[in-house]
Amino acid sequence: MTVINSAEFLKSSTSFEQCPTENLPEYAFIGRSNVGKSSLINKLCSQPKLAKTSSTPGKTQLINHFLINQQWFLVDLPGYGFAKMPVKLKKKMEIMINEYLVNRPNLLNIYVLVDSRHEPLEIDLDFMARLALNQLPFSIVFTKADKNKKTRTMENIDKYKEVLLQSWEELPPIFLTSSETGLGTSDILEDIARINLLY
């Protein structure tokens, strides 16, 4: 069982150049605005107030580094696809996120969060396609599993897999989580521990 003994906020950055020295393994959480990135980080760290969360989309606007067990970083990123955000700011944030993703040699895995209640969305599929194009390793994390019946959630995930397999030969690793119940959090921590060992 992988345990987080210490988790501390280290730094907020507005560009990849400002990010902490690239000397530790790093794992980033990304996905549409309001999908539950910050909440999942808090649940993983058992610290409800570590990363700022909100029921209003667009809460996280910077690249936030958290130092875990003094050994690796968790990174909370702003969400993409928030319709009500001013176009200029949205563009700026997209560029910030993309530049960060392609310019962090210590970024060992990207967890792409997807709401388990929704059908596959073009914006998420496009985002993952771009990650693949840039040869960036990623996994899909379905969130908010507590909000639906298990059978319904599994149907949604199966549908998602079906759509992915229309354009891909292989599926990325898939996790099912809830920041309410803690479902799936130990799976993600195990995954990170496994990757840490390869570093």
Residue 57, interface with ligand GTP (CB under 6 A)?
yes
Residue 35, interface with ligand GTP (CB under 6 A)?
yes
User: Among residues 33 and 109, whose Cβ is nearest to ligand GTP?
Assistant: 33
Residue 82: other Cβ atoms inside 10 A = 17
User: Among residues 25 and 79, whose Cβ is nearest to Mg ion?
Assistant: 79
User: Among residues 41 and 164, whose Cβ is nearest to Mg ion?
Assistant: 41
Residue 64, interface with ligand GTP (CB under 6 A)?
no
What's the rounded Cα separation, in Å, for the pair 71 and 66? 10
Q: Are 186 and 178 in contact (CB under 8 A)?
A: no
Burial of 88 (0-12, 13-18, 19+ CB in 10 A): exposed
**Closest by CA position to 161, among listed 186, 185, 128:** 128
Residue 94, interface with ligand GTP (CB under 6 A)?
no
Task: Give the HSE-up count for residue 70: Cα atoms under 13 Å, Cβ half-sphere.
Answer: 0
Give 83's DSSP letter. Answer: T
Residue 143, interface with ligand GTP (CB under 6 A)?
yes
Residue 59, interface with ligand GTP (CB under 6 A)?
yes
User: Among residues 36 and 162, whose Cβ is nearest to ligand GTP?
Assistant: 36
What's the rounded Cα separation, in Å, for the pair 6 and 4? 6
Residue 156, interface with ligand GTP (CB under 6 A)?
no
Choices 1-9, 86-94, 139-147, 160-168 (CB under 6 A): range interacting with ligand GTP: 139-147
Residue 54, interface with ligand GTP (CB under 6 A)?
yes
Residue 178, interface with ligand GTP (CB under 6 A)?
yes
For ligand GTP, which residue of 28, 39, 100, 127 counts as binding (CB under 6 A)?
Answer: 39
Q: Three-state SS for 13? A: strand
End-to-end CA distance of the chain: 19
- Give contact residues for ligand GTP (rule: CB under 6 A): 33-39, 53-55, 57-60, 78-79, 143-144, 146-147, 178-180
